[in-house]
Amino acid sequence: MIFLSLLKVFAILYLAELALYSYAAYRSRRQSKRANKLTPLPKVSVVVAAKDEEKNLPSCLDSLVKLDYPKDLLEIIVINDLSSDSTPTIIDDVARKFNFVKRVDAVENNLMRGKANALSQGIDKANGEFVFLTDADCTVPSTWITETLKYFDDATGIVGGVTLISDTGKPVYSVQALDWDFLLSVGAGAATLGKPIACLGNNLVFRKSAYKEVGGYRKIKFSVTEDYALFKAVAESRKWKYRFPMDKLTLVQTLPVETLREVFSQRKRWATGGKDTGLFGFLTLVPGFFFHWLILLSVFSSVGLFAKLFLLKLLLDAFFVFPTLMHYGKIAHLKFILYFEIYYLVYVAILPFTVYFGKGITWKGRKY
């Protein structure tokens, strides 16, 4: 009886949470832009940190040089983050063709670690009033700069954007695709509710003045999710507003990682950084965590009960993510929902234990 009562409680809480974030994601999709472009058009800098990215960087740079922003107001700074492959050569080849592309070689810094160290050195060189961040394994739309700038008014300091998986050719890719669809719907919705609990550094834009006022990456407490740490610092400064629109014209696409082990390592890094989200972030995780565990444990009570609960959760999650998939033209992702639910059921149940009781994080050859 107690078990069934707990099931009902957490099923209702999970449903209520999905309803709240469905409404919040709807608001994020409906966020208004400035009717006109900023005038005069500002100078902008795109900053990309690349560590051993010879495989992915050419596609990224190809999309960046095709941006529909005036090239005399654009600079693209690619940071060679201590690469051991041909990344520097690739940057130089593009820079010879396009004079607005520049290479910066990161140097090790005892006071800073990882990607934040490289980004800080690239941002230091940026001359733009606005700084756009993306990753070397991403491609951006030609409208990325022009459409994102429309979300800035004089009081806005930072704007997050949505990034989704571009390739669903394998089951391991497909579960990542729906995971990103789901998590970004929650993250954008939470920010729209005034509770920034997530953002992605591969689609993040800020005023350089706001970055300087919070001290930049050198002054922000180290985090394995340096993008969220910056977003949070600007949001909590109280001087600047922040936004997180779900806009088709600013959608960045990223490549999936290759194995479930890499997926889990990536999610562990995100979850570790997520410990800084405070009480609201913690409460966001509670209904899903306990509901997932109760579903798993229900198999010991009845296989039939487990099947019904699994189907119920699959339908709830499908209804939640459906509007996002429709909005971005990714409705085909729903055909992978069964794979996703199997993965998601286990991952949500065990991830918190690895974050709080597991070993450190290894990501892209670095240990934290």
Model confidence pLDDT, tens digit, residues 132-186: 999 999 999 999 999 999 999 999 999 999 999 988 888 899 999 999 999 999 9
CA-wise closest residue to 170 among 56, 260, 252? 260
Band the pLDDT of 235: cuts 50, 70, 90: confident
- Token readout for 136 is 């070397």
- Token readout for 227 is 């993008």
CA 257 – CA 260 distance, rounded (Å): 8
Model confidence pLDDT, tens digit, residues 272-328: 766 667 777 778 888 999 999 999 999 998 999 999 999 999 999 999 999 999 999
Contact between 61 and 101 under an 8 Å Cβ cutoff? The reply is yes
How much is the mean pLDDT over the chain? Answer: 90
Beta bridge partners of 220: none
Whether the per-residue pLDDT at 207 is higher than 70: the answer is yes
Band the pLDDT of 232: cuts 50, 70, 90: confident
Model confidence pLDDT, tens digit, residues 317-368: 999 999 999 999 999 999 999 999 999 998 888 877 776 666 666 656 666 5
* Domains contained in the chain, CATH given: 2-26+277-367 (no CATH), 31-262 (3.90.550.10)
CA 226 – CA 157 distance, rounded (Å): 17
Which pTM was predicted? 0.92
Q: What are phi and psi of 166, to 5 degrees?
A: -95, -15
- Quick one: average pLDDT of 85-105? 97
Q: What pLDDT does 355 receive?
A: 67
Element (H, E) at 19: helix 2-29
Q: What angle do CA 205, 39, 119 make, to 5 degrees?
A: 20
